[in-house]
């Protein structure tokens, strides 16, 4: 049956063993193997993905990778766009924190590197700014972790170097002195609607 291998490669979407990928719900992982398992009499091809940092291995059916949003690492141009995003002005909406937290979480789990960069930018606090709440810091660290892991994988540098690069970009952003968040967000809110 010469058609079978083609079907498999289509299902695999060009993903290969040892390749680093981004899995939206968990961030950067590495495809360790491609296994076949028989489940309820049907042969199923699975990617075995290892998330070193989380000490976790995931088996994802190759046919499901599109629906879960698994993707290849961002192109360098997209990484550059994410780093540029960090230099922008934070856009803090005047909604309740719980609503904003949900939006930030959705962005982090979207697997979209630019959306993740927006979360890092919006929740970043310089030394001159008021302390973050615990939940703000949790989300900031989650977004920073996702972003730095992907940048590290794309640029083949360590995560520490990637974090330095991210913090360098954040430092180039407009100085948001110790103003209350509402005030900082008010001049941007009209832009937000237009976008």
Provide the CATH number for the domain formed by 76-189 in this structure: 1.20.58.1290
Measured CA to CA, the distance from residue 179 to residue 175 in angstroms comes to 10
Measured CA to CA, the distance from residue 7 to residue 191 in angstroms comes to 47
What is the average per-residue pLDDT within 91-103? 92
Provide the CATH number for the domain formed by 14-72 in this structure: 2.40.10.170
Nearest to residue 146, comparing CAs of 100, 112, 101? 112
Supply 97's token pair: 């924190």
pLDDT digits (tens, 9 = 90+) for 107-163: 999 999 999 999 999 999 887 888 889 999 999 999 999 999 999 999 999 999 999
Q: What is the pLDDT of residue 93?
A: 86
> Are residues 36 and 47 in contact, defined by beta-carbon separation less than 8 angstroms?
no
Give whichever of 51-55, 85-89, 173-177 has the largest mean pLDDT.
85-89
Report the Cα–Cα distance between both ends of the chain, in Å, rounded. Answer: 52
- The ranges of the chain annotated as CATH 2.40.10.170 are 14-72
What is the average per-residue pLDDT within 37-65? 91
Q: What is the pLDDT of residue 179?
A: 46
- The ranges of the chain annotated as CATH 1.20.58.1290 are 76-189
Between 75 and 174, where is the model more confident? 75
Between 176 and 143, where is the model more confident? 143
pLDDT band at 7 (very low <50, low <70, confident <90, very high): low
Supply 124's token pair: 């970043």
Measured CA to CA, the distance from residue 32 to residue 161 in angstroms comes to 25
């Amino acid at each position: 049956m010469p058609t079978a291998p083609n079907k498999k490669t289509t299902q695999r979407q060009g993903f290969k063993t040892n390749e680093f990928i981004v899995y939206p719900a968990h961030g950067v992982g590495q495809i360790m193997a491609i296994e076949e398992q028989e489940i309820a009499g049907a042969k199923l091809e699975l990617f075995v993905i290892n998330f070193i940092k989380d000490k976790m291995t995931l088996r994802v059916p190759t046919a499901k990778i599109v629906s879960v949003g698994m993707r290849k690492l961002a192109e360098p141009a997209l990484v550059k766009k994410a780093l540029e995003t960090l230099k922008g002005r934070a856009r803090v909406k005047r909604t309740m924190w719980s609503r904003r937290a949900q939006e930030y979480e959705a962005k982090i789990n979207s697997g979209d590197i630019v959306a993740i960069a927006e979360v890092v930018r919006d929740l970043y606090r310089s030394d001159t700014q008021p302390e973050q709440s615990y939940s703000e810091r949790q989300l900031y660290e989650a977004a920073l972790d996702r972003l730095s892991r992907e940048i590290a994988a794309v640029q083949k540098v360590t995560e520490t170097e990637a974090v330095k690069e991210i913090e360098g970009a954040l430092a180039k952003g407009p100085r948001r002195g110790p103003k209350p968040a509402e005030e900082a967000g008010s001049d941007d809110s009209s832009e937000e609607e237009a976008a």
